[in-house]
Amino acid sequence: MTTEPTPQSTVEHPHVINGPWTREARERAIQDEVREAYIEYFRKAVKVRNWLPWDDIPLDEVRQYGHLLSDDTITLIESFLGIEDYVGDYVEDAINIVRGNRERRNIQLVWGMEEAKHAEAWHLVLLHSGRRTEEQIRAYRDKVGAHRWRMREDHPGLDTPLGIAVYAMFQERATYFNYEELRKRIRLEYGLPERATPEERRRGYQVGAAAAFNIVARDEIAHHGMFLRIVDIHKKYLPAETLDMIFKVIQGFKMPALYLIPNESELKAALERTRLYTPLKHGRSVANPILDALGFENKRALERAAQEAKLLPPGCGPEHVAIGRSGEFVLSITPERTQVTPRRPQTA
C-alpha cells in the first residue's frame, strides 16, 4: 500500500523567505519590498499629487505680483528651471543603471513624470511674472538641452542602482529645502507673512508663485520619502554596502547639473548674496534629518555602523541584527531557524 505525498503549498507569501540569507534571498526580499514601495508611491503620485502646472498655478496672481520679485529670486528660479530641465537625462541615465530591475525602472518612470512638471512650473512663473520673455526662456532651455547630464560624470561612483537611490534620497530633500526657502523668500518680497494667511488656507492655495513652490515642494518631499524607504529596505538586507554608500554620499553631496546650467555664475553670485543654501543649512536641514530618519544620532554613528557592518558574520539576516542610534550592532543568532519573516520598513 502506498500513501499520497502530503501536498505542498505552492502559494508564496511575499514576506516569507525560505532558507539561509544568501545574496539571492536578500535581493529577492529587497525586490518584494521595493515593489510595495513602488505601488504606494505610484498611487499617491497619481491620486493625491494630481496637479498640473498649466491648471493649478494662480497665474493671474503671478502676473500681478511678479514685479515685486528681486533679480536674485528670478535668477534662482531660472537656475532651478535649468536643473529640473535635465529630467530626460536623469531618467534615461537611471533607467540604464537599474536595467533588469522592473520595480526600480517603474519608479524612475513615474518619478520622471512628476519631475517633468517642475520645469514647466518654473517656465510659467518666469514668464507670467513678466521677468523673462517666451523667447528668452526658450533660448535658455535650448542651451540646457545642448548638454547631456550623466551620473558617472557629475558624481563618480554613484552610478549603481544603490548609488542612485542614496543620492536621490539626499538630492530630493535638498531640493525640498531649497524650494521651501525660495517660497518664503517670494512671500517676503510679495509683502506676505512667511506662513499662509487664514485667507490662503481657506481657499486652499498660496498667493502667486508661492503656490507653485508649495505644490512642487510637496512633490520633492514625497520623492525624498520614497527614496528613503528604498534605502531603508537595502539597509535592512544589505547593511554593509548600503551604509558604505550612505557615508560616501553624505561626505561629498552636491546638487546635480550645477556645472551644466547656462547661468551657473549668476547662480553662484545669487547664492552668495541670498545665503539660500549654505553648508550649515545643508547639515541642519538635509543631512541631519536623513541620519535621524535612518536611525543614527550623527555622522559619527553612521561611520561606526558602516565599519561594524563589515564584521557581521555571513548569513546574518535582519532578524539577527539591530543597529543602535550611536552605530553599534547588536546580534542575536538562533541556529535552529528555518524560516525568516522580515519586518516591514519603519519609514514611509
**Residues 105-124: x where in contact with Fe ion by CB under 5 A, - otherwise, as a string:** ----------x--x------
Buried b (16+ CB within 10 A) or exposed e, 281-314: ebeebbbeebbebbbbeebebbbbbbebbeeeee
From candidates 78, 159, 181, 220, binder to Fe ion by CB under 5 A: 220
How, if at all, do strands 17-18 and 339-340 pair?
antiparallel
C-alpha cell at 138: 526658450
Window contacting Fe ion (CB under 5 A); options: 20-28, 42-50, 165-173, 293-301: 165-173
Taking the complex as a whole, how short is the minimal distance between the CB of residue 342 and Fe ion, in angstroms? Answer: 28
Q: Is residue 185 near Fe ion by the rule CB under 5 A?
A: no
Helix (H, G, I), strand (E, B), or coil: what is residue 321? strand
Strands (E), 219-271: none
Site for Fe ion in 64-93 (CB under 5 A): none
Q: CB of residue 57 vs Fe ion: minimum separation in angstroms? A: 15
According to the binding rule CB under 5 A, does residue 224 interact with Fe ion?
no
- Is the separation of the CB atoms in 108 and 39 below 8 Å? no
The site for Fe ion, by CB under 5 A, has a size of 5
- Stretch in the footprint of Fe ion (CB under 5 A) among 6-14, 93-101, 164-172, 330-338: 164-172
What lies within 8 Å, CB to CB, of 326 at 6+ separation is: 296, 297, 300, 301, 304
Position 223 contacts Fe ion (CB under 5 A): yes
Grid cell of 179 as nine digits: 524650494
Please identify, among the stretches 137-145, 216-224, 239-247, 253-261, the one whose residues bind Fe ion according to the rule CB under 5 A. 216-224
In the complex, the residues that contact Fe ion under the rule CB under 5 A are 115, 118, 172, 220, 223
